[in-house]
Amino acid sequence: MKKYTYVSTTDPAVSEREKRHHARIRGLAPDCMVLLENNGVLPLSAPGRIALFGAGARHTVRGGGGSGTTFPRHAYTVEEGLREAGFTVVTTDWLDRYDNIMNDAVERLEQQKDAGGIGMALMTSVSTLDTAEITAEDLAAGEADTAIYVLTRNSGEGADRTPGEGDYYFTGSEKKQIRTLAEHYPKFILILNVCAPVEGEFLKSCGAGAILSMGMTGAVGGQAVADVLCGKAEPSGHLTDTWAYRYTDYSTANSFGLLSGTKDDVWYEEGLFVGYRYFDSFDITPAYEFGYGLGYTSFALAVTSVSADEEKTELTVKVTNTGAQYSGKETVQVYVSAPKGSLDKPFQVLAAFAKTKHLAPGESERIRISMRTEEFASYSEELAAWCLEPGDYLIRVGTSSRRTFVAAKLCLDVVAVVKKHRNLFADPEGRPEITCRQAVSYHAPGEKEEAAAAPVFRLNAAKFAVNEMNYPEPEIMEDHHSGELITAEMVRKGQRTVEELVAQLTPEELVKFCTGIGKSLDTFWMDEYRVPGAAAQTTDCALETRDIRDAACSDGPAGLHVTPEFVVYNDGTIQELPESGGFFRREFNHSRDSEIAEHHYQYCTAFPAASTLAQSWDTAVLSACGEMYGQEMKEVGIQIALKPSMNIHRDPLGGRNFEYYSEDPLVAGMMAAADIRAIQQYPGIGSTIKHFAVNSQEWNRFHSCAHVSERAIREIYLKGFEIAVRTAQPMCIMTSYNLLNGVHTANSKDLLTYVCRDEWGYQGMIMTDWFTTLSGVDVFAVSDKSSPARHGLTVPHLCMYAGNDIIMPGSDEDRSEILAAMKDGMLSLADLQRCAANVIRTVLHTDIYEDSESWYRCVPVEESGFEAGEE
């Protein structure tokens, strides 16, 4: 029996670290909350009597479900936060009645779960369809003049949201209740405890005095809401998604997930026109546009200097708090409208953003934004290159996608090619995409005059640097040191290379490095990892001989997903305590002759969900969370965090949108990069960006094929990943379950080797998503079994061929298949060696070696496409 030394604490008390991190996220959560409406109701003058209603009042959702869930010691509900802040909640009776309804629903769900066939989402979400009626007695209770209704929605891994009532749309009873409260109370505040858009039409007409989207704010939700309501903190978040009037306004409404009508294939016919790129280019008015957000004060923006050449476009923006009473923070958003040429172009694309510090009334801050001009390029499939087409580029500055002014005009003479690639994503079954060439796009009022008056900069295409990509093939690693056993220590000291070590390994050994230590699906849950609750671990097959140790990976995006409490018996076996909330609640069936020796505690912070954090528009918020997360990894002994998740919010119904940042790839890429850099500053730990790539839906996720044009893949779905890889070099990348243009991403050499390693210079280790090669794992995937799936599962040996270094959590079947493929000449030794080398190189950098250093000591990163900061 393997025995680890568990590094987590044996002290049951709430630790100082827990308290410190809780206080820090409470401080930053208001920066992520978006004030959608306010007629002056907020902030409230003082905590008073409150009539509190709505499913989220006492059952505030802290984050979504599945592997991205969290296990904090406690998460504050809105009710608790208000009471703690000194409010008197006068509707306890209504809240108790709702509790009864809720408890019944949970019981029903538990029964369904036992009966099987239920998606992960449902394990943590409860339908809001039932609700307790609001009676005349409730309305009269406590003679409150202020009411709050907390609307909540949840989603999770394994299932998408639906475009029906009780999810995207409000139910009839929710609408009735909200309208009644808006009419009855002089002050009525609607709080949205959601992580993705809900029906804008109702929000616009419901009569609420204020609407606050609190997002999903982890452990601090209720407390941070109370801080915002009382004006102790200002909500300074802005939307990172477009909130439409109705679901059918989205470009993907007919082709998303289940709605596409086909279970096997999804055609991304909207091409580039996702989110605001669609709403603006086709002039569809959103309820709340991308980038929108109010605050308690007002701001004025003025561009005080601007310059542009072929290398850089730079602006200084002076932001002044023009209000008289409240301080606050403002975002500065820069958009570029590129000229249409042989390529169709969206009306505008976000090019840079920044957030001010806290500005008191009358106070100003100058923000300097410097963008690489080549970043304004588009991808031309015809040229197989990123290029800027000739014409006028308008640089727009503002505080949302629809509140901007033209600050500069760049005029380019002829086409400038900036990066030459190979086209890699041909789709034999591709369909035409929509185009906005004939469409009348949105135009900001006064835009023509502003463009005519804006400073003009002439650019010369010949002066742009051209970058040409190389795509080398792997070569066999030869053993030049036979007779000498190369050890981890020799490689770590620089005496030998990883390649030299790998050259000494047999195929049987190599294949162990290329798979996690899992045995088979049936026994996965019984594997014991170095950290109880971890999701997988690398092999220790060469521990005795070469001292290559095993590294542990753990979810998840909003907090470490390790078992919060477990006991260790004298014989070295452990038991995870079911009552401590471990997601998979594994119980190790060892004989219990022995006594309990230690009781361990691994309570980690529940951070706000990624989509909520992104609404801060502040990379410093992401860095702060990454820094805390890194500290917790060190504390519990995790080497590789399976986060951040960073897929594009292609559609508001994506079941895992809460884990992802935005509909916009720049926001996704910058936020992820800040998070990764903060984690990887610590010695020997790293991040994993996932799910690579084009994983925009949960429906049928193991078997569904996304059909997307090369241009949309590169400009929308890969762009964020590219930013994260180039500027933050995450230690790991996790592939997705889906297929892309007919090939499983986990088996795609084009994606993993040619794009990721050759074009972007990726240095770390690529892993599969869990069980991607195994069948019979429908617990993870709601899918339609009425007919056989058109697309099968990922093939193990093709992972290695593609450059997917390690199959997680790994199984004996995976290892046998890979070895058989090698024997049959379907997989080369060079491919397997290259994968094993990537795994070993990464593992040798982790802190299972005492003297490890930050990943950044040996892995170089590039500068970001833009820089922003106080002048």
Q: 464: which 2 tokens?
A: 């742009």
As a whole number of angstroms, the distance between CA 215 and CA 235 comes to: 11
Report how many residues bind ligand BGC under the rule CB under 6 A: 9
Site for ligand BGC in 5-24 (CB under 6 A): none
In the complex with ligand BGC, the residue whose CB is nearer, 375 or 555, is: 555
Q: Smallest gap, in angstroms, from Cβ of residue 642 to ligand BGC?
A: 4
Q: 708: which 2 tokens?
A: 């997307």
Q: Smallest gap, in angstroms, from Cβ of residue 555 to ligand BGC?
A: 5
Residue type, 204: K
709-730 as b/e: b if 16+ CB within 10 A? bbbbbbbbbbbbbbbbbbbbbb
Q: Smallest gap, in angstroms, from Cβ of residue 502 to ligand BGC?
A: 27
In the complex with ligand BGC, the residue whose CB is nearer, 125 or 401, is: 125
Residues 681, 637 contacting (CB under 8 angstroms): no
Residues 576, 533 contacting (CB under 8 angstroms): yes
Which residues neighbour 66 within 8 Å (Cβ) at sequence distance 6 or greater? 120, 121, 123, 124, 156, 157, 158, 656
Q: 72: which 2 tokens?
A: 């904090």
C-alpha distance from residue 563 to each of 310, 534, 742 (Å): 53, 8, 38
In the complex with ligand BGC, the residue whose CB is nearer, 534 or 674, is: 534
Which residues neighbour 347 within 8 Å (Cβ) at sequence distance 6 or greater? 277, 280, 281, 337, 436, 441, 442
As a whole number of angstroms, the distance between CA 797 and CA 801 comes to: 6
Site for ligand BGC in 613-652 (CB under 6 A): 642
Q: Smallest gap, in angstroms, from Cβ of residue 532 to ligand BGC?
A: 14
| Closest alpha carbon to 657 in 52, 1, 63, 43 | 63
Q: Smallest gap, in angstroms, from Cβ of residue 218 to ligand BGC?
A: 18
Residues 120, 156 contacting (CB under 8 angstroms): yes
Site for ligand BGC in 338-357 (CB under 6 A): none
Q: Smallest gap, in angstroms, from Cβ of residue 109 to ligand BGC?
A: 20
In the complex with ligand BGC, the residue whose CB is nearer, 642 or 752, is: 642
In the complex with ligand BGC, the residue whose CB is nearer, 203 or 734, is: 734
In the complex with ligand BGC, the residue whose CB is nearer, 348 or 736, is: 736
In the complex with ligand BGC, the residue whose CB is nearer, 375 or 659, is: 659
Site for ligand BGC in 661-720 (CB under 6 A): 690
In the complex with ligand BGC, the residue whose CB is nearer, 315 or 560, is: 560
Residues 128, 114 contacting (CB under 8 angstroms): no
Q: Smallest gap, in angstroms, from Cβ of residue 565 to ligand BGC?
A: 19
Contact with ligand BGC (CB under 6 A): which of 60, 67, 504, 846? 67
Q: 446: which 2 tokens?
A: 């006064």
* Stretch 146-165: interaction string toward ligand BGC, x if CB under 6 A: -----------x--------
In the complex with ligand BGC, the residue whose CB is nearer, 374 or 814, is: 814
* Stretch 516-535: interaction string toward ligand BGC, x if CB under 6 A: -------------------x
Q: Smallest gap, in angstroms, from Cβ of residue 123 to ligand BGC?
A: 13
Q: Smallest gap, in angstroms, from Cβ of residue 636 to ligand BGC?
A: 16
Q: Smallest gap, in angstroms, from Cβ of residue 35 to ligand BGC?
A: 32
Q: Smallest gap, in angstroms, from Cβ of residue 733 to ligand BGC?
A: 12
Angle at 732 between CA 731 and CA 734, to 5 degrees: 165
End-to-end CA gap in the chain: 59
Q: How many CB atoms lie within 10 A of CB 165?
A: 16
Q: Smallest gap, in angstroms, from Cβ of residue 804 to ligand BGC?
A: 15
C-alpha 768: how far from its chain's center? 17
Residues 69, 63 contacting (CB under 8 angstroms): yes
Residue 609 in the binding site for ligand BGC (CB under 6 A): no
Q: Smallest gap, in angstroms, from Cβ of residue 399 to ligand BGC?
A: 34
Residues 235, 212 contacting (CB under 8 angstroms): yes
DSSP conformational letter for 188: E
In the complex with ligand BGC, the residue whose CB is nearer, 344 or 659, is: 659
In the complex with ligand BGC, the residue whose CB is nearer, 695 or 833, is: 695
- What backbone torsions phi and psi does residue 427 show, to the nearest 5 degrees? -125, 105
In the complex with ligand BGC, the residue whose CB is nearer, 350 or 536, is: 536
Q: How many CB atoms lie within 10 A of CB 467?
A: 14
In the complex with ligand BGC, the residue whose CB is nearer, 267 or 780, is: 780
Q: Smallest gap, in angstroms, from Cβ of residue 33 to ligand BGC?
A: 26
* Stretch 545-564: interaction string toward ligand BGC, x if CB under 6 A: ----------x---------
In the complex with ligand BGC, the residue whose CB is nearer, 279 or 660, is: 660
In the complex with ligand BGC, the residue whose CB is nearer, 119 or 626, is: 119
Site for ligand BGC in 223-252 (CB under 6 A): none
As a whole number of angstroms, the distance between CA 665 and CA 16 comes to: 37
535-573 as b/e: b if 16+ CB within 10 A? bbbbbbbbeeebbbbbbbbbbbbbbbbbbbbbebbeeeb
In the complex with ligand BGC, the residue whose CB is nearer, 712 or 808, is: 808
As a whole number of angstroms, the distance between CA 322 and CA 359 comes to: 10
Q: Smallest gap, in angstroms, from Cβ of residue 647 to ligand BGC?
A: 10
Helix (H) or strand (E) holding 822: helix 812-823
Helix (H) or strand (E) holding 313: strand 312-321
Q: Smallest gap, in angstroms, from Cβ of residue 164 to ligand BGC?
A: 25
Residues 364, 322 contacting (CB under 8 angstroms): no
* Stretch 763-792: interaction string toward ligand BGC, x if CB under 6 A: ------xx---------x------------
C-alpha 11: how far from its chain's center? 33
Binding site for ligand BGC (CB under 6 A): 67, 157, 535, 555, 642, 690, 769-770, 780
